[in-house]
A and B are shown apart, each in its own frame.
Chain A
Amino acid sequence: MKMDNAKDQNTVTLDRRRDISQNPLCLSGKGVTRVFGTGRRQMTAVDHVDFEFRKGELVSIVGESGSGKTTLSRMLLGLLSTSDGEIWFEGKPRDISTRAKKRQYWKNIQAIFQDPFSSFNVFHKIDDVLLDCIRMTGGRDLPKEKKTELMTQACSFVNLKFEELTNKYPFELSGGQMQRLMIARIFLLKPRILLADEPTSMIDACSRATILDMLLNLRDEIGMTVIFITHDIGLAYYISDTVYIMEHGKFVEHGSADEVILSPKAPYTKRLISDVPKIHEAWDLSTVEG
């Protein structure tokens, strides 16, 4: 990829907190549970969690591996059914009982996944990926020029050049570029909710800033709710309005990012924060047992 105008905006600040407490509810849940297996091998991955995500909010769900955050995200996306509990979407109970209703729901919620290399069908060209999004938003019958214009616009939003991408396959791009293409996809779809499942954990540190910046620009542009799933508590603190801490399938604490990170109340949160190495505060090695 050419060095483009990214050179001009060298540093990015991602602290864009806003007061969202008055915004209407976008997605909320009560007693959401998922149980895998039966009998003695039964395992509760997500255990009666309650949550309220508001419009335009950037929520982080922080948990270590095995905490159930991925299961929860798949339930939120409607890819996995819930064992118990209810999810409300924009004030009404979410109904995804039929395929048509599911499709309708998926117009409102979309996702970016962790591994860009497995997020694309390697047999489809980049054009197909973007055209599919245009088709989904009802642009199937648009003239070809209009479609190209939309795709060009989406690519330039994430600092990619559509002319260079057309007729190429996703695997010809680098990980960071693929993840940007994913954001371009979201730009075309303009969903109400974006679920980002560790979108930067497989991206090199230097490309991370770009990806996060684009993600936040997109949120500001189309006013969507972003649910950010991560294990990196520092990153979650840096970008989110609200933080939910998850342990063993339960939310142990939630609140504004400053509240949760700077004055944690739950013992798990306290331990998590104290166990993460820091650079200004001393990292106290004596606090752990074992």
Chain B
Amino acid sequence: MKNTIRQIFHSSKFVAGFVIFVAILLFILLYPLFQPGNPLEMIGVGTFAEPGTYVSLYDSVTAPSETLNLPDAASNRLASVLKEEDRAKMAEYLVAVGVPSEEIDVADTEALLALWEKHYDETARPAGMTKATRNYYKRLNQSLNSMGSGSELSVVEQGEGGEASTIATIGSSDYVNVRKVPNRKTLLLGTDNFGRDVLKELASAAGTSVVIGLIAGTVATLIGLLLGLLSGYLGGFVDDIIMFFTNIFTVIPSFVLLILISYSIGQDQRGAGVVALVIGLTSWTWTTRSVRSQVISLRNRDHVNLSRLSGHGLFRILMTDILPYIASYVVMAFILQVSSGILAEAQLSLLGLGPKTTEVPTLGLMMNWAMLYSAHLNGSWWAYFPVILMITLISFSLNLMNTGLDQVFNPTLRD
């Protein structure tokens, strides 16, 4: 036993899969400790806030400020405000007043503004320019001047009586230390369509999905193992009956069955546990088949005959003479069942047949929500891509472990 475990951990594939899986488990278990709270709490009002650190605008007004004269502050500010189309228009104007186009670089904000100041003349009338266009340039020039001017902003608080009182005046060179702002929030993966923290949701959803996979895998493996053992060992009539049902379950596409069951249970009953059970109850067939064939090849082995001659009963023979021989095989089948259980949940949920939506997130549900709110169309990658990555990693790590075990237990497959 010890030796087998050592051998398993010598398999690089198994170790790689194991490390990934343990890392995911640690993330699932540890993240909620650092970020407690309901993962489905809607912290945002809008949809799909971008990933990043958010600081409270309100608090930063009243936070103690320092004056810093940073040389590129103005141009940075301008650069962040000046839109692409305005830059293009500025370039157009400059060309019209005779600046060679090679000299103009729309990306270099400072150079562009310098050129603009040098050549812009409100009164000039470049050939072919309509009045409306000239007016647009006039407005653009004004707004550029006001931004660069360093004029102050006044923050006004509206009192109860309606009278306004100025509580702060903010200069263009006023800075607030981020740490002095009491309210700030880093959303590494932004928020989803309901304004929920995607990262927190992901940790919780991955946990639920792994549990669903484990339940589904356990149910499927137990049913499959029991039926496979009985069918393979007893043979004859029992085998015929069991194989009849197994074949029926195999021919009916299990996904259709899954959809029908999921649908007929009804929205209210459909918790994560029930969905896991449904998945487990529809995916045992191939475990039964493979366990059965393994048992058939063991059934006539001499040690089983000898055990029968020693007067041992059915249960004891199955448990001590058959099961240990196929244990490694069952473990591998279980791993694959867990992996396929997680995938089945994702597929079901994507179709809207997953667990009830108000209690727990699952990976499939997160995909479902992202799809319903067109996250993939409006470029909110953070709402679905981490979920896909998580599903892929879980399933990849489980399959990697399975392959590693396979190589240890079936040495003929090696190399």
Give yes or no for direct A-B contact (beta carbon below 8 Å): yes
Q: Which residues of A contact B (CB under 8 A)?
A: 74, 77, 79, 99, 102-103, 106-107, 109-111, 113-115, 118-124, 132-133, 136
Known contacts A121-B320, A121-B321, A123-B320, A111 near B305 by CB under 8 Å:
yes
List A contacts of B266 (CB < 8 A). Answer: none
> Nearest 4 pairs between A and B by C-beta?
A113-B302, A103-B311, A119-B302, A123-B324
B149 on the A face (CB < 8 A): no
A77 to B306, CA, bound (A): 10
A37 to B313, CA, bound (A): 26
- Cβ contact within 8 Å between A106 and B309: yes
Closest to B304 in A: A121
A121 contact from B307, B308, B313, Cβ within 8 A: B307
How big is the B interface, by class? 10 to 19
Chosen A-B contacts, 21 in total, with CB atoms closer than 8 Å, are: A74-B305, A79-B305, A99-B313, A102-B311, A103-B311, A106-B308, A106-B310, A106-B311, A111-B305, A113-B306, A114-B302, A118-B301, A119-B302, A120-B303, A121-B324, A122-B325, A123-B320, A123-B325, A124-B320, A136-B310, A136-B311
- Cβ contact within 8 Å between B311 and A113: no
A8 to B367, CA, bound (A): 80
Name, among B305, B320, B325, the residue most crowded by chain A CB atoms within 10 Å (CB to CB): B305
Known contacts A121-B320, A121-B321, A123-B320, A110 near B302 by CB under 8 Å:
no
A118 contact from B302, B308, B320, B324, Cβ within 8 A: B302
A103 to B308, CA, bound (A): 9
Q: Which of B320-349 contact A (CB under 8 A)?
A: 320-321, 324-325
List B contacts of A121 (CB < 8 A). Answer: 303, 307, 320-321, 324
Name, among A103, A107, A120, the residue most crowded by chain B CB atoms within 10 Å (CB to CB): A103
A79 contact from B301, B308, B321, Cβ within 8 A: B308
List A contacts of B311 (CB < 8 A). Answer: 102-103, 106-107, 136
Q: Which of B254-308 contact A (CB under 8 A)?
A: 301-303, 305-308
- Cβ contact within 8 Å between A115 and B310: no
What would 15 more interface pairs be, CB under 8 Å, given A106-B310, A106-B311? Answer: A74-B305, A99-B313, A102-B311, A103-B311, A113-B305, A118-B301, A118-B302, A118-B303, A119-B306, A120-B303, A121-B303, A121-B324, A132-B310, A133-B310, A136-B310
List B contacts of A110 (CB < 8 A). Answer: 309
Name, among B306, B309, B310, B311, the residue most crowded by chain A CB atoms within 10 Å (CB to CB): B309
List B contacts of A133 (CB < 8 A). Answer: 310
Known contacts A106-B311, A118-B301, A136-B311, A111 near B306 by CB under 8 Å:
yes
A120 to B321, CA, bound (A): 9
List A contacts of B325 (CB < 8 A). Answer: 122-123
A264 to B311, CA, bound (A): 41
Chain A proximity of B215: nearest CB distance (Å): 29
List B contacts of A109 (CB < 8 A). Answer: 309
List A contacts of B305 (CB < 8 A). Answer: 74, 77, 79, 111, 113
Chain A proximity of B320: nearest CB distance (Å): 7
A46 to B311, CA, bound (A): 26
Closest to A123 in B: B324
Chain B proximity of A115: nearest CB distance (Å): 6
Chain B proximity of A89: nearest CB distance (Å): 15
Chain B proximity of A77: nearest CB distance (Å): 7
B303 contact from A103, A107, A119, Cβ within 8 A: A119
List A contacts of B307 (CB < 8 A). Answer: 121
A132 to B310, CA, bound (A): 8
List A contacts of B324 (CB < 8 A). Answer: 121, 123
A79 to B301, CA, bound (A): 12
Name, among A102, A113, A118, A120, the residue most crowded by chain B CB atoms within 10 Å (CB to CB): A118
Chain B proximity of A134: nearest CB distance (Å): 11
Chain B proximity of A10: nearest CB distance (Å): 31
A103 to B307, CA, bound (A): 11
A121 to B302, CA, bound (A): 9
Chain B proximity of A94: nearest CB distance (Å): 15
The proximity string for B residues 126-167 relative to A, scoring 1 for CB distances below 8 Å and 0 otherwise, is 000000000000000000000000000000000000000000
List A contacts of B313 (CB < 8 A). Answer: 99
Closest to B298 in A: A118
Chain B proximity of A69: nearest CB distance (Å): 15
List B contacts of A132 (CB < 8 A). Answer: 310
List A contacts of B306 (CB < 8 A). Answer: 111, 113, 119-120
A213 to B306, CA, bound (A): 23
A73 to B306, CA, bound (A): 13
List A contacts of B320 (CB < 8 A). Answer: 121, 123-124
List B contacts of A118 (CB < 8 A). Answer: 301-303
Closest to A70 in B: B300
List B contacts of A115 (CB < 8 A). Answer: 302
List A contacts of B310 (CB < 8 A). Answer: 106, 132-133, 136
List B contacts of A113 (CB < 8 A). Answer: 302, 305-306
Closest to A113 in B: B302
A109 to B310, CA, bound (A): 10
Name, among B301, B303, B307, B325, the residue most crowded by chain A CB atoms within 10 Å (CB to CB): B303
List A contacts of B303 (CB < 8 A). Answer: 118-121
List B contacts of A107 (CB < 8 A). Answer: 311
Chain A proximity of B239: nearest CB distance (Å): 14
Chain A proximity of B336: nearest CB distance (Å): 24
List B contacts of A120 (CB < 8 A). Answer: 303, 306
